[in-house]
Every structure is written in structure tokens, then in C-alpha cells.
Amino acid sequence: MKYRYVSDSHIHTDCSRDASDPAMMMCESAVRLGLYSLTVTDHCECNVYSEEGYDKSTLQSYFEAKKAAAVFGGRLHVFAGVELGQPMQNRQAAEKILDACGFDFVLASVHNIKNKEDFYSLNYSCEDVDRLLERYFDEILETIDWGRFDSLAHLTYPWRYIVGEHHIAIPAERWKGRIEEVLKALIKREKALEINTSGFRQSLGVSIPDLPILERYRELGGKLITIGSDAHRWADVGAGIEQGMNVLQKAGFSHYMVYESHQPNALPIG
Ligand SMILES: [Zn+2]
Ligand SMILES: [Zn+2]
């Protein structure tokens, strides 16, 4: 590997319904690759928290991560995290699960806006994309204001589907101001920005967010970056992380963060 400290702070295990491999296998894969650390961040979709059993699966994920940390101790740092989806659509559920588990790391995500399906499954020929994106940024800003998370996952997630899958162009200029609002809010609240490397292995072809946004975050004074593959199977553990680190270097970052007990530990990119 090109870098001394390679960590993956966004992976899903079989405690997420769209992923298939147990935490132990994900960790084994990380050890084989020589990763420094792995943070388990299974889905907890707050808007369908009890209806879809996220109360149980998130608790299960937390215990599996703790078990894996004990088994892999000395070979790999394993942290227990969660990807909290749409916390603003059920704040009570979000706070309940955070109070129940002593997570090291909390990612906040917006996969769908209120009363809409996931951006993944929307029919864009019948949607007003501008209106959807306005609401997407509103909900992210509301989440940052709430503040019970460590890092904002995959900012510009809708681009993965709108641009990557449906080939609908989104003019960068149009959303520059709203993106800047998000970056400034993160910096003000001392929250991290994630670089999600799943875009490299999907049709989007770039990290989420991409280089210009990461550069802007740094220019505005942002220092807290986390990095994750968003692997949903053992074969994707660590995927694109070094490529993501190249992008971070280009954007002018010398370190990225790995969180333990919600505290950022800086690791060098070099
Ligand atoms: Zn996500
Ligand atoms: Zn994820």
C-alpha cells in the first residue's frame, strides 16, 4: 500500500438489510489488506425505525462490532459506529438509539427527504430535481444544527443517482451556494465531512463529495475529514480508500480523522 495508515470508516455488515457479510468477515478482509482501522457503520434509518426493525438490528450491529474488536485486538482497530439515516424525520428514534449504544462514531446521512422514497428509487422523469435538491440541503442543514453526529456522510448523495444513473446534468454553479452553507455549518459545529469512495466503483466515477467541494471545505478552514468505502460486502472493504487519499492530498489535506468515543484522532496521509 502507498500509505502508512489506511482506515475505512464506513462499512456495512449483515446487520444492514442491503449488506450480506458478518462483521468478522469484514474485519478479516481489512486485516488481509493491512488496514489500520475499520469502523462498522450499519444503517439505522430513523424514518422507519421500529416499522423496519432498526431498533434491533442497530443494537445487534453494536454488539457485533464490540465482539469483533475483542477478537481482532492487536491486529486491527475495530470501532463501533452507526450510519444514522434521516435523523430529522424521527429525532426521538435517533436520540433513543444514540443513548442506548456507546458508539465511537456516528455518521449522519440523508438518503430520502420527508415523504419521498430514497433518491435511489425515485422516478426522475416525474420529479422536480431543483425542488428535491433544495429540500435535501434544507434537511442536511437541520441535521447539522441538531448536531448529534460526528461526520456528514456522502454529501451530494443524490448526484450518485441523478447524474450517475439517470445522466441528468446538475449545473455545479447552481448548488455552489447551498453546498457552501453546509460546509460552513459543519466547520462552525466542528463536525467532520466524509469522503465516500463508493462513487469510484459506480457509474458516477468520482468521490462523494468530489475534489472541488473538498478543496472548498479546506479553503473555508475545514480540517476534519473522515474516509469510508461504504462497502456492503467483504470484497469492497477498503475499496477506493487510497484513491480517496490521493484526492485529499490534491485538495491540500495532510491528515484524516478516525473517531474513537466521538473524539477525532488525526492520521497522516503520507
Ligand atoms: Zn448512506
Ligand atoms: Zn452507507
pLDDT in tens, 178-215: 999 999 999 999 999 999 999 999 999 999 999 999 99
Instruction: Say how many Å lie between the CA of residue 154 and the centre of ligand 1.
Output: 7
Q: How far apart are CA 179 and CA 170, in angstroms?
A: 13
Contact 82, 58 (CB under 8 A): yes
pLDDT tens digits, one per residue of 85-122? 999 999 999 999 999 999 999 999 999 999 999 999 99
Ligand nearest to the CA of residue 120, numbered in listed order: 1
Q: State phi, psi for 124 to the nearest 5 degrees.
A: -70, -15
Q: How far apart are CA 167 and CA 177, in angstroms?
A: 23
Instruction: Say how many Å lie between the CA of residue 23 and the centre of ligand 1.
Output: 18
Ligand nearest to the CA of residue 157, numbered in listed order: 1
Instruction: Say how many Å lie between the CA of residue 46 and the centre of ligand 1.
Output: 13
**Residues of the chain under the 50 pLDDT cut:** none
C-alpha cell at 163: 447524474
Beta-strand pair 263-268/192-196: unpaired
Instruction: Say how many Å lie between the CA of residue 151 and the centre of ligand 1.
Output: 12
Please give the pLDDT value at position 1.
Answer: 82
Instruction: Say how many Å lie between the CA of residue 69 and the centre of ligand 1.
Output: 23
Going from N- to C-terminal start, the domains of the chain cover 7-268
Please give the pLDDT value at position 61.
Answer: 98
Please give the pLDDT value at position 12.
Answer: 98
Protein residues near ligand 2, an ion, with CB under 5 A: 83, 230
Please give the pLDDT value at position 86.
Answer: 98
Cβ burial, residue 165 (10 Å; 0-12/13-18/19+): middle
Ligand nearest to the CA of residue 232, numbered in listed order: 2
Please give the pLDDT value at position 189.
Answer: 98
Task: Please state the pTM of the whole predicted model.
Answer: 0.97
Q: How far apart are CA 198 and CA 18, in angstroms?
A: 15
Contact 107, 41 (CB under 8 A): yes
CATH number of 7-268: 3.20.20.140
Instruction: Say how many Å lie between the CA of residue 36 and the centre of ligand 1.
Output: 22
Instruction: Say how many Å lie between the CA of residue 255 and the centre of ligand 2.
Output: 22
Please give the pLDDT value at position 48.
Answer: 97
Q: How far apart are CA 251 and CA 102, in angstroms?
A: 33
